[in-house]
Homo-oligomer: A and B are copies of this chain.
Amino acid sequence: MSAQHPQHPLPVVSLGLGPIGLRLASRIAAQSGVDLVAGVDVDTERTGPDLGLLIDRPELSIPIYATLDQVAQTGGVVIQATVSDSVIAAEQMLQAIALGWNVVSTSEQLMFPAPHDAELIARVDAAARAAGVSVIASGINPGFLMDSLPLMLTAACVSVDHVHVKRVVDTDQRRVQLQEKAGVGLSRSEFEARRTAGRLGHVGLRQSAGLLAAGLGWTIDEYVETLEPVIADRPTDTGLGKVPEGGVLGQHQTFEAHADGRVVITYDLEMSAGAASVDHIHIDGDPTISQSITNGVNGDIGTIAVISNLVPVVAAAPPGFLTMADISPLHSRR
């Protein structure tokens, strides 16, 4: 069965049953045209015929296996919600491809792979083409709000000089893991220590910029990143308890990409407790387009949506390792 003529309903396997993996499984179990056939998780305490119980659908008898090769069916889509790391995620993709599965992944690093992963991705691409399946990594961010969506908006432009995307996320509206990742409740010195250890900061701005630049024909020759704490100017109640004055409410990241000797992409990402959520895209060009999404898009439900909505698209896409620009190729051309 070729990737262009997917089965109906389309078999789907949930690989990785953490918080996002379980929410994805729950969504897939409710989605039409797809059939959640199994869960796979390395945590062997989870294996058994009980994925239905974990997603409040006890009437469904869906087995959980420790490895993908135990799944009886094949030829559909594996949803991979395991790791951000490109090398580990790509190795898992290769296993899925070898078993005849398409893959939709949440791996931030694979949304638009870094140059040093080129060889790895060439291997995944070749394997996918040989198997007649397609693989892609995406999510709400990276994958949509700061890259595919502004890229598609440029379709209304005959020229683009600069793209500025600003995303502000009120962490109180997000899952606890994300609040912790943003540094909510840390002291300034704890924030500094974690930042130095590389344990803070959203992963994906570089990937988003890579996708946007490739689509718009820019070769990035330099980028500048900053990561600063957002400091409470009074005692503040947050989803992780009260933060004292001078404590950390979250983080503010900026990213500038340079091409042809000028700044072509600017990202501004604030994730902090009590912030006024918004998504804003400003395209300087002909014409200039300035777009805002009031209250922003919730990142948890948004990621579930983008990944699950990609499932039928990827099953029908041409084989190979794809990026979001392959799925949605309309954008400004020089």
The stretch from A124-132, A197-205, A240-248, A283-291 touching chain B is A283-291
Complex-state Cα separation, A292 to B280, whole angstroms: 10
- Interface size on A, as a range, is 35 or more
Asked if A152 is at the interface (CB within 8 A of a chain B CB), the reply is yes
A32 cross-chain contacts in B, Cβ below 8 A: 217, 333-334
The stretch from A53-61, A78-86, A154-162, A258-266 touching chain B is A154-162
Q: 6 tightest A-B contacts by CB?
A: A328-B328, A290-B294, A156-B302, A158-B305, A291-B293, A32-B334
Contacts A140-B156, A293-B290: A333 and B304 contacting too (C-beta < 8 A)? no
Q: Which residue of B lies closest to A297 (CB)?
A: B156
Q: In angstroms, how far is the closest chain B Cβ from the Cβ of A314?
A: 10
Q: In angstroms, how far is the closest chain B Cβ from the Cβ of A136?
A: 10
Query: Do the beta carbons of B301 and A286 come within 8 Å of each other?
Result: yes
Asked if A310 is at the interface (CB within 8 A of a chain B CB), the reply is yes
> Which residues of A are interface residues toward B (Cβ below 8 A)?
27, 31-33, 140, 144-145, 148-149, 152-158, 217, 286-287, 289-295, 297-298, 301-302, 304-306, 308-313, 316, 324, 327-334
Query: Do the beta carbons of B330 and A329 come within 8 Å of each other?
Result: no
Query: Do the beta carbons of A291 and B289 come within 8 Å of each other?
Result: no
Q: Which residue of B lies closest to A34 (CB)?
A: B333
Q: Which residue of B lies closest to A279 (CB)?
A: B291
Q: Which residue of B lies closest to A290 (CB)?
A: B294
